[in-house]
Structure 1
Amino acid sequence: MNKLITSIQNPFIKQLSQLKDKSRIRKKEQTFLIEGLREIELAIKGNYDIETILFYADLFSEDQLNNLVNKDVNVIEISKEVYQKLAYRDTTEGVLAIAKSKQHHIYNLEFKTKTPLILIAEAPEKPGNIGAILRTADAANVDAVIIANPKTDLYNPNIIRSSVGCIFTNQIATGTTTEIIDFLKLKNINIYCAILQESVTYHSQDFTKPTAIVVGTEATGLSNEWRINSTQNIIIPMQGEIDSMNVSVAAGILIFEAKRQRNFN
């Protein structure tokens, strides 16, 4: 018999509501909420430790529940009112999970190939952009995504939602720009920075060797530290009236040029 919680005034539910809304609570507790069946399945596939499953029985069946959980996972049935309190989306399947956060230290990265392809974004702030970058990275099956000088908590529900769970499918690290540049140099990884200054067209470069492609925000671009430490600065030629594009779009163009050169391997 599963435990049942029906009131949004329940102390545990109030705690989960804070976990959903507040980065400092997520960091303190080292846990976060996942919403949606596909996202939870991807987290399990990504070796995330699922502590608790919460489900609304009118939307999520016992059969689905049995296929999702093992005996070590705590299961709680919740009412419609509680589900609506905790869920961001009305269209999800009536299931949420509490998972343990992972550590994303840069020196924990492991590469399965001698010519890794890495996507780096410096100081992205908008969860939607971060989610789109993670989707691009998953589509290209890059070896790692690194967030330099992160401005947003990786386990922000909007990042999980906009990445459609790709936060769990990518190998992700965070660090300062200085730490990341030191790491790349130590590993002999070429650094290609999307910067206007001292740049050449992106398709003129050889991305088949160990490669890090680095993008910045539309508003401020990349910091000067990247510019002076790059193997080569690169540019996507612009043929319209504006001189920049969305960071996730730029990342997609550059990463898939690298994949094309590698025959999509």
Structure 2
Amino acid sequence: MQKFISSFQNQTIKRLLQLQEKARLRKKEKAFVVEGVREIELALKGGFQVQELYLNPDLFPAEKGEKLLASAAEVIHLSPEVYEKIAYRGSTEGVIAVVAAKEHSLDQIKFKSKSPLILVAEAPEKPGNIGALLRTADAAAVDAVLIANPRTDLFNPNIIRSSVGCVFTNQIATGSTSEIIAFLKARQIAIFGAALQASVPYHSVDLTGGCAIVVGTEATGLSDEWLENTTQNIIIPMEGEIDSMNVSVTAGILVFEAKRQRR
């Protein structure tokens, strides 16, 4: 018999809402919530395991979702009212998954290229910025994204949404600034920091070897520890009235300059 939930008071629904809202519970259960056919498909492609699948049968495209249905350990149908309560968007084709989390440790990072291109973000806080950085990284097919001193867990639903699932398509690791600097230096990867201090124009440096492009927060920039360990600081010359850009825009310009040079 197909399991069906039509009550907002159901304990399963309450847990699902808490997984969406509470990082502590996501960490405890080592699970998180993904909404939408495309995002769940990207999670599966990235090697993640779907534990539970919640469907609004009125919206779910059964003819396109056979792989999703087969991937889940448990499939639960929801009434339209209950689904609407837990869904953030109305355009995700009626499906929400609970997915088993993976570790984001530095020792799991593997490079296929002898000259990897790495994007490093120090202490990004806004989920929208993190999502945009991950979309940029995916678009440029960088070899890895490293998050130094993370201030939010990467399975925050807002990061998954704003990254359009690119949190699953990138090779990602987190660590302290010291750990990531040591990781890069041990692999002889040049460090280019986006910073005003002692900088040169971004297009004047050689980004064809193994290198990490490091961006900081818009409010404070890179920490002194990064500035003391960069191979070279680089800058995007500002020609208008302001002196900085959104961190994801900055990362996009620098990463695609590296890609241009590598062609």
- TM-score tier by shorter-chain length is over 0.9
Aligned to 1:215: 215
Contact 1:17–1:85 (CA<8 Å) still a contact in 2? no
Query: Helix, strand or coil: the match of 1:57?
Result: coil
Aligned length: 263
Q: Shift of residue 62 of structure 1?
A: 3.0
Residues 141-160 of structure 1, C-alpha deviations (whole Å, 9 max, x = no match): 00000110001110110100
User: Separation in 2 of the partners of 1:50 and 1:83?
Assistant: 18
Q: Shift of residue 188 of structure 1?
A: 0.6
TM-score with structure 1 setting the length: 0.97
Q: Shift of residue 72 of structure 1?
A: 5.5
Q: Shift of residue 85 of structure 1?
A: 1.9
Q: Shift of residue 74 of structure 1?
A: 1.0
Aligned to 1:108: 108
Residues 162-193 of structure 1, C-alpha deviations (whole Å, 9 max, x = no match): 00000000000000000000000001100000
User: Separation in 2 of the partners of 1:72 and 1:102?
Assistant: 17
- Asked whether 1:59 is paired with 2:59, we answer yes
Aligned to 2:136: 136
Aligned to 1:30: 30
User: Separation in 1 of the partners of 2:70 and 2:91?
Assistant: 25
**TM alignment of 1:1-265, pairs within 5 A:** 1-70=1-70, 73-263=73-263
> In structure 2, what residue type is equivalent to 1:96?
I
Gaps of 5+ in 1: none
Q: Shift of residue 86 of structure 1?
A: 1.5
User: Separation in 1 of the partners of 2:191 and 2:173?
Assistant: 16
User: Separation in 1 of the partners of 2:111 and 2:25?
Assistant: 32
Label 1:187 to 1:88 Cα distance change in 2 as closer, same or farther (>3 A). same
Gaps of 5+ in 2: none
Give the % identical residues: 64
Label 1:65 to 1:73 Cα distance change in 2 as closer, same or farther (>3 A). farther
Query: Helix, strand or coil: the match of 2:142?
Result: coil
Contact 2:50–2:71 (CA<8 Å) still a contact in 1? no
User: Separation in 2 of the partners of 1:209 and 1:170?
Assistant: 20
RMSD: 1.0
